[in-house]
Amino acid sequence: MSQPRQRFSPRLSAGGRRVETVTDMTTDSLFSFPAEPAVGWASRLAVFDLETTGIDVETSRVVTANVSVIDADGLPVSRRDWLVNPGVDIPEQATAVHGVTTARAVAEGRDAAEVIGEIVAALREVLASGLPLVIYNAPYDLTLLDREARRYGVEPLHAPMPIIDPLVIDKAVDKYRKGKRTLTVTAEFYGVELLDAHDAGADAIAAGRVAQAVAAKHAKALQITGEELHGRQAVWFKEQALSFQEYMRRSRDPEFTARTEWPVG
């Protein structure tokens, strides 16, 4: 059965500002176009984000998800969104972040097992096509998705690559910049507009645009293949995690242990 998807087309508003309009499409494959390696790993990117019931990757459940593809200008050329009935109550703290209540998830969300299978399949498809997959703070989203897949008997992703994690890359190429490195803060620093933070689609697409902005700003350091960058990020992430672990042990908790695995913990 063909899968519905949406295409975003740029246009100019009355004030001359580029905006995006949405039209529905139907295709036999969610991502039926080939990867375009023309200008390096940042020229065309798949992007992914989850909004969930909490922060613990072992116990939290998926509430909303997005898998999109953006072109070299950062414009979405395909997009798919999911709303899930997670089968558990959504805590008020989580609702305050992403806006989805338990009542809405029950009324409008789809079966969790079915959706998790579709998300994994969509990610497997974009990776098989050769597209790098951008995920801001990849160990959170990919590890949580791995646990959800195992929970519902879905075959999880195995060693997905190349993954592009703008959080890890930004910390590596601009190590001494002060301030937070949340997606909202980092997007602002790189001049990327993020109008609806904690909407899975808005966050996923903004993360892709941040990755492209980082690549443009630090082209000399990042002029490598996506596969090579994947390997370097694993090293960078471990170094960053161990540095944070040292800080935490010195300042707060002598027993603190940081996760060092990337992109799946």
What would you report as the CA-atom Rg of the chain, rounded to the nearest whole angstrom? 18
Per-residue pLDDT of the chain (265 residues), as tens digits, is: 333 333 333 333 333 333 333 333 333 344 433 333 334 899 999 999 999 999 999 999 999 999 999 999 999 999 999 999 999 999 999 999 999 999 999 999 999 999 999 999 999 999 999 999 999 999 999 999 999 999 999 999 999 999 999 999 999 999 999 999 999 999 999 999 998 888 999 999 999 999 999 999 999 999 999 999 999 999 999 999 999 999 999 999 999 999 999 999 9
Q: CATH classification of 3-225, choosing from 3.30.70.1060, 3.30.420.10, 1.20.120.450, 1.10.1040.10?
A: 3.30.420.10
For residue 196, what pLDDT is reported?
A: 86
Separation CA 40–CA 226 (nearest Å)? 8
C-alpha span between 176 and 133 (Å, rounded): 26
Contact between 231 and 105 under an 8 Å Cβ cutoff? The reply is: no
The tokens describing 222, both together, are 């990042």
Which residues are within 8 A (CB) of 180 and not within 5 positions of it... i.e. 6 or more apart? none
SS3 content of the chain, % helix, strand, coil (to 5): 40, 20, 40
Write phi, then psi, for 85 (nearest 5 degrees): -90, 105
Task: Show the tokens assigned to 217.
Answer: 């700003």
133, 213, 43, 2: CA torsion to nearest 10:
50
Rounded Cα distance, 226 and 30, in Å: 22
pLDDT of residue 157: 98
| pLDDT for 109 | 98
Collapsing DSSP to helix, strand or coil, 109 comes out as coil
The answer to whether 209 touches 70, Cβ cutoff 8 Å, is yes
Closest CA to 264 of 68, 48, 83: 48
Tokens of 256: 């603190």
CA dist 220 to 206, 208, 215, 223, 224, Å? 23, 19, 9, 6, 9
How many angstroms separate the Cα of 90 from the Cα of each of 19, 67, 204? 33, 22, 21
> Could you give the 3-state DSSP secondary structure of residue 5?
strand
**Three-state SS letters, 45-71:** EEEEEEEECCCCCCCCCEEEEEEEEEC
Beta-carbon neighbour count of residue 145 at 10 Å?
A: 26
Burial of 201 (0-12, 13-18, 19+ CB in 10 A): buried
* Three-state secondary-structure class, residue 86: coil
- Reading the block at residue 108, the tokens are 């409008």
Residue with tokens 């998800």: 65
